[in-house]
A and B are shown apart, each in its own frame.
Chain A
Amino acid sequence: MFSKNIQQKIAFHIFRLLSFSILGVLVWILGFIIYNGIQVINWEFITAFPKEGMTEGGIFPAIIGTIYLVIGSMMFAVPLGIMSAIYISEYASNQKWVKFIRIMTNNLASIPSIVFGLFGMALFVHTFGFGDSILAGSLTLGILIIPLVIRTTEEALKAVPESYRLGSIALGATKFQTIKNVVFPIAFPNIMTGIILSVGRVSGETAPILFTVAAYFLPKLPQSIFDQAMALPYHLYVIATSGTDIEASKPIAYGTAFVLISIVLIINLLAGWIRRYFEKQNPK
């Protein structure tokens, strides 16, 4: 057969080809959406309500709705997720119990998002009687991302060297003071990155909001957390599949996709930037 050096060369070339092709797919998707979407992007598109059965006008209420949902779900998921993670990684002494919780959160993370949507509808919309509302949607999205927040927070806490904890405890600090004053601030940049990534996830999810909050069209912005709201991914879904005039609203759909992708991209870049910023502040 071939000599080992030739084998190596062949393997490298195959790997390179594969990685380039993945990059190619990404560039293609982005290029396609940017090319089609950027044509409809203007100030009005971002700041106006949809008009003419959503074949014209803007996507302003969808942007605002997505922002509300992000804020709402974060307000619910972040404290809960971080506190659970702190309990699991710092306090819980029963390792079997911790293992069980960890398996459960991982299972939660792998449940399809449509199931969350149904669960949210059953629990929040009907049982709790919130109706289709920002509250119900935020809680559903929150449950969806709690596993992500827990896992990233746990990783971030685990990455804090034990010597800091010992150093603090040895000065007479309690465990809680140690976590609050030393461990958490050190872990914060990594936790922050996890939170920002989950913001990206929330802003792009369609299924969980489908039955819990999203409205096809609303003539005005939501006034309270018990109102329905429009959201970018759902808006994209309806105008592309069940609009009044699918062909006519196509440019709007591309524009919406462009805005959505831009938001997710910006959030990801922001996550990286924040991590680098804090790492500079706290060199390990």
Chain B
Amino acid sequence: MMIEAKNINFYYGNFHALKGINIAIPANTVTALIGPSGCGKSTFLRLFNRMNDTIENAKLTGECLVNGQNIYDKTVQVDALRKNVGMVFQKPNPFPKSIYENVAYGLKVNGVSDKKYIAERVEQSLVAAALWDEVKDKLHQSAFALSGGQQQRLCIARALAISPSVLLMDEPASALDPISTSKIEELIHGLKEKYTIVIVTHNMQQAARVSDKTGFFMYGELIEYSDTKKMFLNPENIQTQNYITGRFG
């Protein structure tokens, strides 16, 4: 199992945001997390690269394992963890630097200085993010010159450059138009050969299209977690059925 959660409870102050979550996500799969707003799916996603660390009054119990290692263990260095567990955000957030510098950034902050190696990784990452052909002639132009969809693929390339094994995506296509969305989905589908991907999405069709496994969250609980095919054809739980058929709420 690439990612495992064992009896996770998470609190924002007095608010019990995640309630006893257990999940085991195999390597080289795409797992979609769906559920209504405020159900805890994003909070859960952020546990795995410890993006919740800076939140005040937050409390976590239980174990989060990545590759068998409890990532909240005291011996774990958080920046090393984040190098291994990349993240792509809802809104494309390229830095105000050139396309090249954006992709090279992660390598540089992690102490890579071999220019030849950086150049290789930049190209490989842009190829992997299906962006190379569109930007290879303007690598040194500002990343802001790209369209929203291209920017998001640049952010994916940026995350891939530091060779993570896990990629967390927080609604990566919700700010994009349908064509860009479908490109991102296609990309996600192709990336699972090398990476383990967990994607939070509001779009159930998107979850169905891109994922192998789906987890349904509601009120901080993981209601159902199973193969996407099974979830969308024959969900076990009546709440899941009500949600995915649009009868909920």
Contact = CB atoms under 8 A, between A and B. Distances in A.
Contacts, number: 70
Given A172-B109, A172-B110, A186-B96, A167 B89 contact: yes
Pick from A167, A185, A186 the residue with the most CB of B within 10 Å.
Answer: A167
Nearest to B49: A170
Interface stretch (A7-15, A103-111, A126-134, A174-182): A174-182
Interface string A123-161: 000000000000000000000000000000000000001
A188 to B, nearest CB: 10
Residue of B51, B91, B93 with highest tally of chain A CB at under 10 A = B93
B106 A171 contact: yes
A218 to B, nearest CB: 47
A170 B109 contact: no
A interface: dominant SS:
helix
A75 to B, nearest CB: 28
Nearest to A171: B106
B213 interface: no
A15 to B, nearest CB: 39
A93 B106 CA distance: 26
A173 B51 contact: no
A266 interface: no
A210 to B, nearest CB: 44
B86 interface: yes
B170 to A, nearest CB: 10
Nearest to B96: A282
Contacts of A167: 89, 93-95, 155, 158
Given A170-B51, A171-B158, A177-B109, 14 more contacts: A161-B93, A164-B95, A166-B51, A168-B105, A168-B109, A171-B106, A171-B110, A171-B162, A172-B79, A172-B81, A173-B79, A181-B95, A181-B108, A282-B144
Interface of B: 49, 51, 56, 79-83, 86-87, 89, 91, 93-96, 105-106, 108-110, 142, 144, 155, 158-159, 162
Interface of A: 93, 161, 163-164, 166-174, 177, 181-182, 185-186, 281-283
